[in-house]
Structure 1
């Protein structure tokens, strides 16, 4: 991308733009978790619909992590155009994730981990559940921390040329932290999804 995709006020105020977008994102997530009037905007989901969304989210997150890893590889090999397209693809995938995650949380209830399995080869060690909770907690924490970093890296990326990004912005430094945090969060999210939905049992608590 030799010319910026976005100019004007957004280009002149990337930090303010990032802050605004982050506030909107945090507000949406907090709303579906804790604000009844926001939750009421979404339809109540059945367990089957919750499972369908969970499977779709896992696929999207896997694709996003793959795109991020590819983008990281390409920028290390100075393939700027491929890097940019990979990172924008990952960002679009995360927007798709949010379009499924918000209604799933607001109208789908929760699935509580149960230390049992339909497979004899799956271990039922006592530390499995604490390990699951730890991975889930790290996944959530990294997701919270990654949002403003990812948004800032994306805003800089779409408002500056490659030369400007290298010489006039902290895009490289911010992008490195954002991508590593984001990838780890996505991987842990997929791992906990597999544990909860495929290897071990769960108890569904409707919204």
Structure 2
């Protein structure tokens, strides 16, 4: 009997989520040595700014995809969501590359802002990003393993609404974190 992803979407989602989160936490905690060559300092310094732009564009593509599906434009929705996944992957690769080389960015502002603004915003951003990983894998796997006509009968529409909402908030809070780190202070 052949293994078909379509028949095991929750299990495949779980495996991919565990692997992805282990890689992310491993990189952030410095468990993995960086195997990639070190880029020039100007490139490494530019990554947070590039990631802020990627996040802003991702917010736009999520909104476009959401509006498209509400209007019944399935192809536009699919393209928008796939572009968003690509933007997220690019963001994550750049973020993990930078953090594996230089570590997390220290907060340069006052302690009161750090404790009462920055940490709560960062915490919610990270929590939502973690929660989004399995949701995104799940809706993506459903979309990739089912015909368009079958998707309304799956959990794709319901879970997709939740995933898109949380993803929007996470990307937005990521931009707030960026602004606090690089613009405000």
TM exceeding 0.5: yes
TM-score (norm 2): 0.89
1:64 matched to 2:58? The reply is yes
Deviates more, 1:104-113 or 1:175-184: 104-113
Distance 1:187 1:198 in 2: 15
1:34 matched to 2:29? The reply is yes
The residue aligned with 1:176 is 161
Distance 2:96 2:76 in 1: 30
Q: Give the superposed CA RMSD.
A: 1.9
Q: How many residues align?
A: 182
Post-superposition offset of 1:154: 0.7
Post-superposition offset of 1:110: 2.9
Q: Give yes or no for contact 1:62–1:186 (8 Å, CA) kept in 2.
A: yes
The unaligned stretches of length 5 or more in structure 2 are none
1:194 matched to 2:179? The reply is yes
The residue aligned with 1:128 is 113
Give the helix-richer structure, 1 or 2.
2
The structure with more radius of gyration: 1
Q: Give yes or no for contact 2:17–2:133 (8 Å, CA) kept in 1.
A: yes
Distance 2:37 2:139 in 1: 34
Distance 2:59 2:156 in 1: 19
Distance 2:78 2:137 in 1: 14
With over 3 angstroms needed to count, the CA separation of the structure-2 counterparts of 1:78 and 1:154, relative to structure 1, is same
TM-score (norm 1): 0.80
The unaligned stretches of length 5 or more in structure 1 are 1-7, 117-125, 201-207
Deviates more, 1:53-62 or 1:40-49: 40-49
Within 5 Å, give how 1:1-207 maps onto structure 2: 9-36=4-31, 38-42=32-36, 48-115=42-109, 128-129=113-114, 130-167=116-153, 169-200=154-185
